[in-house]
Amino acid sequence: MIKNITKNKIIIKDHKIADTIFSRGLGLMFSRKSDFNYGLIFDLERETRIGASIHMYFVFFPINIVFLDAQKRIVDIKLGLKPFKTITPKSKCRYVIELPMKCNQKLYSVGNRFNW
């Protein structure tokens, strides 16, 4: 479960962690929109800006991206990132969370803290 502890709200009930080079590189590529009903957490192992860039190559549906620092505080958000686009966060981050579009975007904002 991914929870916004600032607002005491559950963002999504299921999550997976991409913590290997292979799982981070694969991400959601070639996944089906109907199968994406969880939050995908990328643990980058250190805070970085360029290393937190996300590409949507071979992801055929839009998603929301949440960038968090080492304290799991949101530093940037990108809503509705479309297929075959790229995004780099505005600030350094340690974690990147990919969320389905169906997750209520009103449940989180920059400065909120997450936990999983």
Q: Is residue 115 part of a domain?
A: no
* Domain, as residue range, for 60: 2-107
Q: Could you report the per-residue pLDDT of 95-107, keeping only the tens digit for each?
A: 999 999 999 989 9
The conformational region for residue 17 under phi > 0 = left, psi -120 to 50 = alpha, else beta, is beta
The answer on pLDDT for 21 being more than 90 is: no
Q: Could you report the per-residue pLDDT of 29-86, keeping only the tens digit for each?
A: 999 999 999 999 999 999 999 999 999 999 999 999 999 999 999 999 999 999 999 9
Q: Could you report the per-residue pLDDT of 71-92, keeping only the tens digit for each?
A: 999 999 999 999 999 999 999 9
Q: Is residue 116 part of a domain?
A: no
Token readout for 109 is 């904002």
Choose among 25, 22, 107: nearest CA to 66.
Answer: 107
Where residue 12 sits, what CATH number does that domain have? 2.60.120.1140
Name the amino acid, one letter, at 45. E
Model's pTM, two decimal places? 0.93
Q: Is residue 114 part of a domain?
A: no
Token readout for 37 is 């009903």
Count of structural domains, the chain: 1
